[in-house]
Amino acid sequence: MHRALCWLLAAFLALAAPAAFAADLEPLVRGLGAGNYADTEKALAKLAETGDPAAVPVIEALQAGDLYVRKPDGAVVVAKRSGNGYALTDPVTGAPIGEADRNAVEKIKVNNALRRTMSAALGALTLMSPNAGVRWQAAEAVFKSRDANALEALDAALAKETDEGVKRAMTQARASVVLGSSAPDGDKLAAVEVLKDRGDQDALALLNGAAGNGSEAVKAAAGKAVAAVESRLALWGAAQNLWYGLSLGSVLLLAAIGLAVTFGVMGVINMAHGEMVMIGAYATFLVQEGFRAWAPGLFDFSILVALPVAFLVSGAVGVVIERSVIRWLYGRPLETLLATWGLSLALQQAVRSLFGPTNREVGAPSWMSGAFQLGGLTITYGRLWIVVFAFLVFGALLVALRRTWFGLSIRAVTQNRNMASAMGIRTARVDALTFGLGSGIAGLAGVALSQIDNVSPNLGQGYIIDSFMVVVFGGVGNLWGTLVGALALGSVNKFLEPYAGAVLGKILVLIFIILFIQRRPRGLFALKGRAVEA
């Protein structure tokens, strides 16, 4: 799966490498402007024989009609219109070599025969390139263009090719060309098989074309191949949806899990929860700015530093909020809801005043950018890390609540405040720290969201309703419920999207939850028993 990436990288390197053979090419390039079509064709053939990638831009310029002969010295140049005259560049090195009057240059004319030769020469040049990445790209280009002229070069290249991946790409390219040509049925049937194995959207399009015309045998084979590819694609499509669902679900999980602590464990409705996420995202931004300014070389690590910073900043804000406002409102959930909503407004405005209303740019470290192919799935590293991260946070929280003294105190206070107090647990402190924990986790969510969403003062607002839905759907007071709720809502959303569109899908999910709450007012994993009803 890394191979494609390596090739791309190699291709870039190859293009960046200076034309080592520039001197040798010079006379051959000059030959292009020598005179009649036949001479040009000969020069082209020689150019192709060199197998030098530096010849590629020259031929491309010729194809584009940008190649001219400078009359005074007969040099072949690339000329682009500029003002009244032409700006000239060297066709091989690409270096500018001054300007020329309109009459001082003459275009090298091409005819159809020449055009074919050019394609073949280009194909041969790139397909024979010493660089595997370039060869792979060339093969893919032929696959898309289905240029019959490239067939010869392709066969020649295939005979020499040693790299398995490039060989496969070339075989597929060949099949693509063959299927579009008037080749005998036997060849076409083989081509159908090759394309069936490739099995992506492009192959499907080609096979569909083949199923529509040609001999009966080919039609039938192509039809079968289409069905096979389609079912495979559907499978991968479902897998892709599942992945998207998992990805969205993990984002929801991150946003909701802190809420599950404050709402589920403490029974406090924190409408400013989204702002804790937002503060975490801004903390990430600040840490990153710090790295940019003082340690740009360590930029890739900035997000690792941002994690504890965001946790602590959001957690601290949470503790302050609990101590100053929420502790006066225990047992009055609706009042808490209103007060924390007010805090969320003030926090948004505070951040807006400090950082401005516009989006802030938070970059991705190199290990979080890019994507890879997993079968028919395209998975971006950023999303993958967020999924991993969400589960790590969930696991850590679970362990913290189950296995630590702090977790034990939280559970004790939740179940029986007076008893816990009598046992010597400082309940006020536990309250503050629990709220800080929930807020801190929201801050961690902010670090993750800064990678996939706009960092703006409104960041949190977009997640607060979804987070509440997750917690309510999963069942309050149950972390596993939150996990299942987040993943279920994420998947349902993504599976609805292709049919209903993103917005309607979301509306349907909301309606579903509203109806669901009617059936099970206490969520999926509700606590049962007399204590709940009291």
Partner 1 sequence: MLTRFLLLGLDKKAGVLLAVLALLAVAVPVMALGTAPDSPWHLSTHSVALMGKYLCFALLALALDLVWGYVGILSLGHAAFFTLGGYAMGMYLMRQIGPRGVYGNPILPDFMVFLNWKELPWYWHGFDQFWFAAVMVMLVPGALAFAFGWFAFRSRVTGVYLSIITQALTFALMLAFFRNDMGFGGNNGLTDFKEILGFDIQAPATRVGLFVATVVALAIGYILASSIVASKLGKVLVAVRDAESRVRFLGYETERYKLFAWTLSACMAGVAGALYVPQVGIINPSEFSPASSIEAVIWVAVGGRGTLAGAIIGAVLVNFGKSYFTAALPELWLFALGGLFVLVTLFLPKGILGLAAQLRQRLPSRGAVAAKPAGQKGV
Partner 2 sequence: MSAEDTLLYLDGVSVSFDGFRALNSLSLLIEPGEMRAIIGPNGAGKTTMMDVITGKTRPDTGTILFEGKTDLTAMREAGIANLGIGRKFQRPTVFENHTVWDNLELALKAPRRPLKTLTYAVGRDDRLRIEEILDITRLSPKRERQAGSLSHGEKQWLEIGMLLAQDPKLLLVDEPVAGMTDAETEQTARLLKDIAGKHSVIVVEHDMVFVRELGVKVTVLHEGSVLAEGSLDAVSANQQVIDVYLGR
User: Distance between CA atoms of 178 and 173, rounded to whole angstroms?
Assistant: 9
C-beta of 501: minimal distance to partner 1 in Å? 8
CA distances from 413 to 399, 428, 431, 432, 450 (A): 18, 10, 8, 12, 34
Q: Residue 472: name its binding partner from partner 2, partner 1, none (Cβ under 5 to 8 Å by kind).
A: partner 1
C-beta of 341: minimal distance to partner 1 in Å? 5
- For the CA atoms of 424, 430, 432, 438, the dihedral, rounded to the nearest 10 degrees, stands at 180
Residue pair 171/158 in contact by the 8 Å Cβ criterion? yes
Please identify which residue in 222, 472, 479, 492 interacts with partner 1, judged by CB under 8 A: 472
**Does the protein bind partner 1 through residue 255 (CB under 8 A)?**
no
86-107 per-residue burial string, b: 16 or more CB within 10 A, e: under 16 = bbbbbbbeeeeeeebeeebbee
User: Distance between CA atoms of 42 and 32, rounded to whole angstroms?
Assistant: 8
Q: Residue 504: name its binding partner from partner 2, partner 1, none (Cβ under 5 to 8 Å by kind).
A: partner 1
Q: Residue 298: name its binding partner from partner 1, partner 2, none (Cβ under 5 to 8 Å by kind).
A: none
C-beta of 265: minimal distance to partner 2 in Å? 19
C-beta of 521: minimal distance to partner 2 in Å? 15
**Does the protein bind partner 2 through residue 521 (CB under 8 A)?**
no
Span interacting with partner 2, options 15-23, 80-88, 254-262, 523-531, rule CB under 8 A: 523-531
Name the phi and psi angles at 462, rounded to 5: -70, -20
Span interacting with partner 1, options 294-302, 372-380, 394-402, 500-508, rule CB under 8 A: 500-508
Please identify which residue in 6, 160, 292, 328 interacts with partner 1, judged by CB under 8 A: 328
3-state class (DSSP) for residue 87: strand
Q: Residue 506: name its binding partner from partner 1, partner 2, none (Cβ under 5 to 8 Å by kind).
A: partner 1
Q: Burial-class residue 495 by CB neighbours within 10 Å (0-12, 13-18, 19+).
A: middle
Residue pair 513/524 in contact by the 8 Å Cβ criterion? no
C-beta of 529: minimal distance to partner 2 in Å? 4
Q: Tell me which residues in 343-362 interact with partner 1 (CB under 8 A).
A: 343-350, 353
**Does the protein bind partner 2 through residue 519 (CB under 8 A)?**
no
Q: Which helix (H) or strand (E) holds 430?
A: helix 427-449
- Least Cα distance to 75 among 101, 108, 110 occurs for 108
Q: How many amino acids of this chain bind partner 1 (CB under 8 A)?
A: 42
**Does the protein bind partner 2 through residue 529 (CB under 8 A)?**
yes
Longest dimension (CA), the chain: 104
**Does the protein bind partner 2 through residue 530 (CB under 8 A)?**
yes
Tokens of 520: 């099970």
**Does the protein bind partner 1 through residue 529 (CB under 8 A)?**
no
Span interacting with partner 1, options 83-91, 146-154, 379-387, 506-514, rule CB under 8 A: 506-514
Name the phi and psi angles at 49, rounded to 5: -65, -30
User: Residue numbers of the site for partner 1 (CB under 8 A)?
Assistant: 269, 325, 328-329, 331-339, 341-350, 353, 465, 468-469, 472, 503-504, 506-507, 510-511, 513-515, 517-519, 521-522
